[in-house]
Amino acid sequence: MDTIAGLISEHLRPTGTCSGSPMKHAPLRLPSDQTKEINCSDSAQTIPLALEHVATTLPRSSGDACSDVPFCEFPSGDAPVGKSNSETLMSEAEQKQKDWKANLAEIGEKEGFFEQIGDLHSALFVKRGETLIVTFENLDHVFEHADTRMPWGHHFVETNGWSMLGMMAQGWTWYRDEAVFDFFDRLRDERFFDQFEQVIFYGASMGGYAAAAFSSACPDATVICISPQATLDRDIASWETRYKKAWHRNFSSRYGFAPKMIAAAHRVYVFYDPTQHLDAMHAALFSGENVQKFQCRYFGHRIASLWQQIGILKPVILDCVGGTLTRPKFYKYLRARRDNNRYHKELIARLEAARRYSLVIKLGKAILARRRGPFFRQAIKRAETALASPKKRARA
């Protein structure tokens, strides 16, 4: 259903139908991880501004772009004499990053290669099967999972017997670096991608932009973009008000305008939330017979992390790789959102922003009937107070 009211009705009835098929409503449960998160970069407003008051209550997922937890923490009183806690944390973090890179270099030497690309980027290639997954992520995010000794997503790729080329950026660079351009030019000229039967470019947000842009180095590749940017060129996307620290970067040179770079791709999957206006405007710039767009309404910008929470990230990616993802199949996957705490909070936030107080009360009571939830009790109280005010009854 397209409207918020329609989505609310899904939660109010014990059973529902979709495409004519009956389906029982699973009991609502609180997610096991209630860790708070915040955005760690002023330049990347990955949480929609309309939902900022909800953001700090959302559980962290391994698919998220950043975390409020530092790279390492020194127990109170254990900092070496002569160093402040911040200096100690920094030195520990730097050492951890050096050890992590050294480990990747060792793995690359044994199983493929590890290459430092300029000052801000690196690449790890691990050879396994005949399918290659090229991933793009932020190195700050990678370091969050340094204990695993591998980039995020490697286990999933390896479990499926795929090869991996993991691209990592140290900061919000959008991979706009001549050294990165030269790297992909070299892979193309050396026919690196020809050794694989299938090549998949995957990324979300900044990584989604890079996946689309650099896919042109491998014609006939499959591209998976989640909440991608088409460009941050101020002459083309002057309406894009996020990511200000990247505005000075050149998006008009090689591999610049992502929608143009996907022309030679075999399939392009674009996932976005149409209610996130800036994301929807970027998605509108991607077009062509090879492009398939899938709407994730009310998922916000961080779609992949919510997919992971509701357990559909892996099946969606597997279907994209296999070329078997259809709209009916995808929207059937999305039914799992109806049992997710973060999704419910985003719905409540949108209803409050729209001053749909009666629906706030109905949805909140439907959720509280099945689980505890101080957030929803407070939302109901605010809605009841608003309804009691004559000035606000008209939008109830």
Q: Give the number of other Cβ atoms within 10 Å of residue 182's Cβ.
A: 13
> Whole-angstrom Cα distance, residue 384 to residue 11?
20
Sign for the pseudo-dihedral over CA of 143, 144, 147, 148 = negative
Range of the domain at 114: 101-338
Rg of the chain in Å (alpha carbons): 22
Look up residue 190 and give its two tokens.
């050396």
Domain-embedded: residue 81:
no
CATH number at residue 233: 3.40.50.1820
The predicted pLDDT at position 12 comes to: 56
Q: How many CB atoms lie within 10 A of CB 115?
A: 14
Per the domain annotation, does 249 fall within a domain?
yes
Query: Can you give the length of the chain in residues?
Result: 396
- Per residue in 309-348, pLDDT tens? 999 999 999 999 999 999 999 999 999 998 899 999 999 9
Stated pTM of the model: 0.74
- Token pair for residue 150? 């591998």
Per-residue pLDDT at 208? 96
Instruction: Tell me the residue type at 16.
Output: G
Amino acid type, 113: F
Q: Is there a domain that residue 386 lies in?
A: no
Instruction: For residue 5, tell me if it sits in a domain.
Output: no
pLDDT in tens, the chain (396 residues): 445 556 655 555 544 444 444 444 444 343 444 433 333 333 333 333 333 333 333 333 333 443 333 323 333 334 444 556 666 655 666 666 677 778 788 888 888 899 999 999 999 999 999 999 999 986 555 545 555 556 656 778 888 999 999 999 988 999 999 999 999 999 999 999 999 999 999 999 999 999 999 999 999 999 999 999 999 999 999 999 999 999 999 999 999 999 999 999 999 999 999 999 999 999 999 999 999 999 999 999 999 989 999 999 999 999 999 999 999 999 999 999 988 999 999 999 999 999 999 999 999 999 999 888 899 999 999 999 999 986 655 455
Q: What is the pLDDT of residue 99?
A: 74
Write out the DSSP string of 323-365: T---HHHHHHHGGGGGG-HHHHHHHHHHHHHTT-HHHHHHHHH
| Cβ-proximal residues to 236 (8 Å cutoff; 6+ apart), any chain | 230, 251, 257
Looking at the structure of the chain, the number of domains it has is: 1
Decide the pairing of beta strands 112-117 and 121-126.
antiparallel
- Structural domain includes residue 277: yes
Give one DSSP letter per residue of 196-241, joined into a string. -SEEEEEEETHHHHHHHHHGGGSTT-EEEEES--S---TTT-TT--
Going by C-alpha positions, the residue among 327, 280, 332, 321 that lies closest to residue 48 is: 280
**CA within 13 Å, CB half, 43:** 13
At residue 200, the pLDDT reads 97
3-state secondary structure of 68: coil
Identify whether 17 is part of a domain: no
Residue 352 falls inside a structural domain = no
pLDDT of residue 172: 92
Residue 199 lies in a domain: yes
Calculate the CA 388 to chain-centre distance. Answer: 39
Q: What are phi and psi of 192, to 5 degrees?
A: -60, -40
Sequence-distant (6+) residues with CB within 8 A of 184 are 214, 217, 255
Q: Which residues contact 166 (CB under 8 A, 6 or more apart)?
A: 123, 124, 125, 126, 135, 137, 151, 153, 154
